[in-house]
Amino acid sequence: MTESSIFFYILLLVALAAGWALAQVSLKSKYRSNRSVNDFYNDYFVGLNYLLGDEPDEAIDTFISALEINDDTVETHLALGTLLRRRGKVDKAIKVHQSLLARSDLVREFSDLVQLELSNDYISAGLLDRAEHLAQELLRESDGVRPDALLQLTTIYQIEREWEQAITSVKALLEIPNFKKDESIKSLAAHFCCELAEQAISDEQPQQARDQIKRAFRFDRSSARASFLMAKLEQLTNNPQKAIKELLRIRHQHPHFISEIIGPMAECYRHSAKPDETIKFEKFLRECLDDRFRVSVLLKLVELVRKREGDTAAAELLSTRLSQHPSLKGTVALLQSHIDETDGKLHLDLKLIEDVLNKLSQSKPGYQCDHCGFETKNLYWQCSSCKKWDSVKPRLGLEGE
Ligand SMILES: [Zn+2]
């Protein structure tokens, strides 16, 4: 179902709720406003007309003006306010929620919900100070929505990149019984520690970085990002064996990142003082490749075979594996391995084909978010489109790995 059809059905449900609320008003026949039942019905059917005529914004406006705010209609107004925000009409959503909040007789349960929605409006409008103020107020004054207020603050501090404050919010959340074992919250906290670790690495503060990575592991022992950072730190501090250990952990715990560990792994084996490291690395690459095909693994293996056994053995390995797993990157490599065997016009034509295929391969995004489908050329721990963490993975198939 597309986003617009989901929106249409939500609005239709809201229209039904508005109709129900209208019926309640009519049945009670006691209004706290000066408007007649006919006025309400007229506005309601005008709203329905807009909805059926594919004019949802006008429909929302009409429903809001048709319904007096009272205990029966608060939830409908809340839903309409949320729809306005999702439609990008943040100013109108803020007005709807502010007018709800201005009512002195609003019960606590509803005023908390309205305050949360208003805080969401402020986030959408980029008014983060106001959003934070509302969420902090909720945290101080209402135990009923404590988890929601903490989640809201976590979102705000993420946007502001205030990682220590985000960690404080998440830690408070993890103290609430229902969240104590929530793995997604723990993983979030680990990412915030990794953000601080990355800052420390770029500030050349290895001990601070190590402390933050260890802190990340305390939240989430299987954090792939923390393992990558620890491996990087071990490499930077000349401990290639420890870095290899950390990279191997990623291979077992997060096999979808196998293509990402090949580069740092090769660096570690190159700098390791132990004998026979190249043979060990080659064995590791063959094991990985037998486990699951990844073109980055194959290309690194081909490079080692070329050094040890020469061009013919390398090309043979490449073509055998590619016949089972076609790959754009692999095809470019295969072409390159044969190009120097040719001359004259054929050589020039193959050079041209190589150039085109190379450009085509480089133009393809190497990563994709498995939540929203967003494609990117770099690996990000948080999807820049849907903002979900840990959802961006290397692309597989002909154009990917
Ligand atoms: Zn996404």
Residues 6 or more apart whose CB falls under 8 angstroms from that of 395 comprise 364, 365, 366, 367, 368, 375, 401
- The closest alpha carbon to 227, from 192, 178, 190, belongs to 190
Q: Which residue type does 139 have?
A: L
Tell whether pTM > 0.85.
no
Residues 6 or more apart whose CB falls under 8 angstroms from that of 219 comprise 186, 187, 189, 190, 193
Report yes or no: 275 and 238 within 8 Å, Cβ to Cβ. Answer: no
CA distance 247 to 296: 16
Report yes or no: 395 and 401 within 8 Å, Cβ to Cβ. Answer: yes
Q: 344: phi > 0 → left, psi -120 to 50 → alpha, else beta; which?
A: left
4 C-alpha vs ligand 1 centroid, how far in Å? 18
Q: Which residue type does 93 have?
A: A
Burial 36-60 (b: 16+ CB within 10 A, else e): eeeebbebbebbbebbeeeebeebb
Give residue-wise pLDDT tens across range 11-55: 666 666 666 665 565 545 444 444 555 555 566 666 656 655 666
Give residue-wise pLDDT tens across range 293-337: 999 999 999 999 999 999 999 999 999 999 999 999 999 999 998
Report yes or no: 59 and 11 within 8 Å, Cβ to Cβ. Answer: yes
Burial classification of residue 190, based on how many CB atoms lie within 10 Å of its CB (0-12 exposed, 13-18 middle, 19 or more buried): buried
196 C-alpha vs ligand 1 centroid, how far in Å? 23
292 C-alpha vs ligand 1 centroid, how far in Å? 25
Q: DSSP alpha helices (H): ranges in 237-294?
A: 240-253, 258-271, 277-291
20-24, 171-175, 289-293 — which one is most confidently predicted on average? 171-175
DSSP 299: H
CA distance 60 to 80: 6
3 C-alpha vs ligand 1 centroid, how far in Å? 15
List for the chain the helix, strand, coil content (%; round to 5). 75, 0, 25
| Paired strand residues for 394 | 367
368 C-alpha vs ligand 1 centroid, how far in Å? 8
pLDDT of residue 60: 66
CA distances from 383 to 16, 166, 225, 334, 378 (A): 36, 18, 14, 33, 11
Give residue-wise pLDDT tens across range 117-159: 999 999 999 999 999 999 999 999 988 899 999 999 999 999 9
197 C-alpha vs ligand 1 centroid, how far in Å? 24
